[in-house]
């Protein structure tokens, strides 16, 4: 049994020039994924890729007068390595061979079956999810080992869960206290301790960043003693 809930952790870009299909399928997918971004042409798709973090691309092979395979090839040539799923109304061998060469995750023939698409998303994102969970659990363990009392562990877990790919997060004291039964003085002390040890860096606009290099150094030193 596949747990589609893991898809809620990921952003999807869907490229399709059939506006009706783009709208209908994106409305379905938004119930399953973190964010669904849509584009009906490659120019708009590239703009989104430059502005947003995208975990997987779903793209039609023929996008107006453009070729989706050529667009994916262009991305790879420019160092943008994002897994992709191709959709098409055609089953020509040439398209399939090109898709294989570009290492497409899957090749779905229209009309698209929702379960088949969700299964494809699950298959490509499950290893990413598992790796992310491993990294997050390791991070929680390292922070807890150098700073935390047991009652503060849930706060650390919440911080790690809300981090982005750059290890930054935006959580107020109230945000945390609304989720976790912890006093404000204890929370303030935790943040101060983390900042004093340079594990936590305060950024503009009420954001924070975990200093991974400093954390690793403290963790290694704590295990040497």
Query: Which domains occur in the chain, in start order?
Result: 4-128 (3.40.50.2300), 147-224 (1.10.10.10)
Give me the tens of pLDDT residue by residue for the chain, a chain 225 residues long.
788 999 999 999 999 999 999 999 999 999 999 999 999 999 999 999 999 999 999 998 888 767 777 888 888 888 888 988 888 876 655 566 566 665 666 778 888 899 999 999 999 999 889 988 888 888 888 888 777 666 688 899 899 989 988 899 999 999 999 999 888 998 999 999 899 999 999 999 889 999 999 888 888 776 544
Total-model pTM: 0.70
Helices (H), the chain: 19-29, 42-51, 68-77, 93-101, 114-146, 153-161, 173-179, 184-196, 212-224
The count of residues in the chain is: 225
């Amino acid at each position: 049994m596949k747990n589609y809930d893991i898809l809620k952790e990921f952003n999807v870009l869907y490229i399709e020039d059939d506006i009706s299909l783009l709208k209908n399928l994106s409305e379905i997918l938004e119930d399953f994924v973190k964010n669904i971004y849509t584009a009906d042409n490659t120019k708009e798709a590239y703009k989104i890729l430059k502005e947003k973090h995208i975990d997987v691309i779903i793209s039609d092979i023929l996008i107006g007068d453009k070729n989706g395979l050529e667009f994916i090839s262009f991305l790879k040539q420019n160092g943008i390595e994002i897994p992709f799923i191709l959709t098409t109304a055609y089953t020509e061998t040439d398209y399939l061979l090109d898709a294989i060469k570009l290492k497409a995750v899957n090749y779905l023939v229209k009309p698209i079956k929702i379960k088949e698409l969700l299964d494809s998303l699950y298959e490509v994102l499950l290893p990413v999810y598992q790796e992310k969970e491993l990294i997050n659990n390791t991070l929680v363990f390292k922070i807890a080992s150098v700073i935390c009392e047991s009652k503060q562990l849930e706060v650390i877990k919440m911080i790690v869960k809300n981090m982005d790919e750059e290890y930054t997060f935006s959580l107020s004291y109230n945000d945390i206290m609304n989720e976790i039964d912890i006093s404000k003085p204890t929370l303030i002390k935790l943040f101060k301790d983390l900042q004093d040890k340079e594990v936590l860096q305060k950024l503009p606009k009420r954001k924070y960043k975990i200093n991974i290099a400093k954390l690793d150094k403290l963790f290694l030193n704590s295990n040497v003693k």
